[in-house]
Structure 1
């Protein structure tokens, strides 16, 4: 339950606390091990307990203790601070602090009472009963918070430096500083950028805590690269179907074609307003720019050859409202570790397992446009633009890295795959082995920059109530989905 393994100082600063640890050590649920076998002349100063302590000390493996204990004692040593504090955080072992006067790292913005037990050196004998009295629910909460804080602020030198700089920025720009909730809950202060907003309600992470919901409409962004030559092109049907959704606030057509913009009268008349804007430099990343013309929280991202009905759009948006911090959509893909090539692989096989939802037909919060543009390095975005590929994979990497959650796939749509293979505008891309090879390369380049593989596998699929049930179609809210 409670462990410690470290040096015992026989004299001088820090000796009082560590010399007293043997009083609460019981070799069962409280294992506090010390050794006086350190320093060149330790034998000159050893006391009657040293030999027994040293023998007990050598019986236990420190890392095994650390990773199999609930609480880790962090007593002061020669200094107030101790590296054991960070070791405990990394191991999801709740730190029990015994260092009166130590200002814990980043305590200006981190509420350490939610991740550590703050003890008093003068009340050492009360520590075992104190930790035994903590309820299991509280212990789980403490351990989860240790993991969050470690991942958010301490697991690399880069994050420690970035956190320090962001705290200084919050001090200087007090009017635009992050709130305590932003720093102390997922995804953390480094992912809630005050340059975007200081209002919690503008981010996708806090609706449940605030007791609010995202704005009940979406903005559709249709990415177009093919010239408009016919009224029967798939994009025209898509535009009409999306605009008919009861949740559609507006449709933005992002014109990335080299051809001039079509005349206004060539676009269909719809109930929702339609605006056509030219993409920045005609590059593929322009679909993820944080456009000021997006008035809603939700963005429905669409490729021009996507085939969706109004019912499918309505259902996907309804699902997203329950998962506003995730990508919700139809076409799913997965990643895997190729042990033969020792690299990450990308697969489009249709299975129950997935880790990505492609942004050719997906809904997500508009804040991710801002993060994509400002947080990700220019080198990755430039690579995506040069290949005109992988922007959807990069967005999935980003969102999963931020949320530590997988995307959400909605009702399987096999005709999406069949239709994509039959479309002239992108058929060559989907079947082109170079296109697929590029995506394999992207997976590994992205994982290298993130320092890990942030994608998370899931088998969850959201279907409408009574979907495929043998009941009257009139009893089903999204009845058209089964007819497709």
Structure 2
């Protein structure tokens, strides 16, 4: 099996060999630069309809196509400029048009053309493919492919009609009229898909390699379980984040419910992590954990409660625990904080409510957050929000718990997420990330936010105005949240994670979702979640 760039149809063996992109030697190894389209701009067209700036080959392979481009250049909305200035002997090979072409070529900046063109011509060069293909994808400039017989990168799994336009080298003069006929709605869709495909599969060498290996994996496993469908490869977040070991039913993933016309289940599983510094359970009904369990028990959406008992001493006898209308399972966790996001066979619901044992949430707050999460099953939805920022003075990422109008993390001490992220957290992250969490005994919630933002390229969602979500530590005990070293550790983790990911995946948001009629001057009896306004923020 051969993976090669600029693969021609005549050589590549369909279903066996793999066509990969031609990338520059400076292409980022991991992480990757983001796409350059920051918003859907109207109108859909840009200053230039079609652009190309590159070498002209006076003779040899690729010369016929590029030598003809000057026929279409009009200096207005079609900018196709070439230069003969390449190679040591270009003067010896120049023709009568080279001086004029070189002068016109120098008038235009390549990056400006990429940013301000609706379409970018990608003609064959010495090879069928070129660096320009990936550069156009990143810039959101719709590629117009002018290389007959070229098998596009990962053509066996990616539907390139979503992001690119094919042209025939034999019909070069018809290209401008053909692309002018494309409707604006289609232009916007094509531009959006350039960004999706760039970010998912091409923005780093690491992604290109992983995509190649995933195609190989699909082919090897096809006889056993069948390969992944085009839906998985050609919809966000893509095949690199949809591990087939999790399930053979795509509706069970958090990403494809809308596309498949399915819905997430009607219930959730609560997973409570008991921290050694705060856990205190006894027949006394006023302990935080007991009160939290009682609030959970009143929820009509609760399916099961799992308590991860991380204290060295055995958990109290069952007589000390409240009676709930659903199964209550206490797992004596000796593996520490790493078990929090470990896949649990007992979790049979799509939704997981992750809680610290001293969380302060009422039943209405739990139910409201769950109903919000059902509309956003691929994201973290919850109460405690935090932010990251870039500190110019220290040249590092900073972490803050200050209450502002935006945030980039929702901590998993009181938050909903899809249980697929347990699988992805455990099996889809590198050992250095897990080791950092184990050594700090601190940052698993930050890492989960990194993972979900990295996969979805969307921020988490905060619900209601609650600022404080934890009990004050019991007398004589020391909460890790009040430990000065705790904050320093979290900031260190933030920078370590960003270095390992190769970029900062966290995204800022200023959206907060509240219940209908929240704090409106109407009778509280008309409101569905009546307890929420009574909660002190």
**TM-score, structure 2 as length reference:** 0.87
1:245 to 299, 305, 314: 299
Q: Which has the higher contact order (CA 8 A, sep 6+)?
A: 2
Deviations 1:336-374 (A, max 9, x none): 111111101110011221111110000000000111101
CA distance in 2, matches of 1:219, 1:6: 58
How far off is 1:57 after superposition?
Answer: 0.6
Going from structure 1 to structure 2, the CA distance change for 1:420 and 1:334 (only over 3 Å counts) comes to farther
Asked if residue 350 in structure 1 is aligned to residue 350 in structure 2, the reply is: no
Equivalent residues of 1:305, 1:425 under 8 A apart? no
CA distance in 1, matches of 2:146, 2:474: 67
Asked if residue 457 in structure 1 is aligned to residue 535 in structure 2, the reply is: no
Equivalent residues of 1:421, 1:427 under 8 A apart? no
What does residue 98 of structure 2 align with?
Answer: 50
Equivalent residues of 1:421, 1:430 under 8 A apart? no
Deviations 1:77-125 (A, max 9, x none): 1221212111111222111100000000110111111011111111111
Asked if residue 291 in structure 1 is aligned to residue 339 in structure 2, the reply is: no
1:181-200 equivalent positions in 2, closer than 5 A: 181-200=231-250
7-16 or 236-245, larger mean C-alpha shift = 7-16
50-59 or 131-140, larger mean C-alpha shift = 131-140
What does residue 445 of structure 1 align with?
Answer: 496
How far off is 1:217 after superposition?
Answer: 0.5
Asked if residue 201 in structure 1 is aligned to residue 251 in structure 2, the reply is: yes
What does residue 222 of structure 1 align with?
Answer: 272
Q: Secondary structure at the match of 1:173?
A: helix
Equivalent residues of 1:255, 1:277 under 8 A apart? yes
1:51-200 equivalent positions in 2, closer than 5 A: 51-174=99-222, 175-200=225-250
How far off is 1:8 after superposition?
Answer: 1.4
Equivalent residues of 1:176, 1:198 under 8 A apart? no
230-239 or 448-457, larger mean C-alpha shift = 230-239
Deviations 1:23-45 (A, max 9, x none): 11111111000112223332333
What does residue 531 of structure 2 align with?
Answer: 480
243-252 or 427-436, larger mean C-alpha shift = 427-436
Q: Secondary structure at the match of 1:54?
A: helix
How far off is 1:176 after superposition?
Answer: 4.4
Q: Secondary structure at the match of 1:71?
A: strand
CA distance in 1, matches of 2:365, 2:355: 13
How far off is 1:227 after superposition?
Answer: 4.8
1:330 to 356, 378, 383: 383
Deviations 1:12-69 (A, max 9, x none): 2211111111111111111000112223332333222111111101111112212222
CA distance in 2, matches of 1:406, 1:20: 47
How far off is 1:422 after superposition?
Answer: 4.7
Equivalent residues of 2:379, 2:452 under 8 A apart? yes
Equivalent residues of 1:227, 1:259 under 8 A apart? no
CA distance in 1, matches of 2:176, 2:441: 60
Going from structure 1 to structure 2, the CA distance change for 1:82 and 1:284 (only over 3 Å counts) comes to same
Deviations 1:226-265 (A, max 9, x none): 2533433110110111121011011111111111122122
Equivalent residues of 1:217, 1:247 under 8 A apart? yes
CA distance in 2, matches of 1:426, 1:361: 21
How far off is 1:425 after superposition?
Answer: 8.7
Q: Secondary structure at the match of 2:153?
A: coil
CA distance in 1, matches of 2:474, 2:358: 7
RMSD between aligned residues: 1.5
Q: Secondary structure at the match of 2:120?
A: strand
How far off is 1:387 after superposition?
Answer: 1.9
Equivalent residues of 1:176, 1:194 under 8 A apart? no
Equivalent residues of 2:342, 2:426 under 8 A apart? yes
CA distance in 2, matches of 1:14, 1:387: 57
Gaps of 5+ in 2: 1-48
Equivalent residues of 1:243, 1:250 under 8 A apart? no
Equivalent residues of 2:379, 2:456 under 8 A apart? yes
Q: Secondary structure at the match of 1:190?
A: helix
What does residue 309 of structure 1 align with?
Answer: 362
Deviations 1:294-345 (A, max 9, x none): 0000000000000111111110001001111100001111111111111011
Gaps of 5+ in 1: none
CA distance in 2, matches of 1:211, 1:267: 41
Equivalent residues of 1:420, 1:426 under 8 A apart? no
Equivalent residues of 2:282, 2:320 under 8 A apart? no
CA distance in 2, matches of 1:193, 1:425: 46
60-69 or 326-335, larger mean C-alpha shift = 60-69
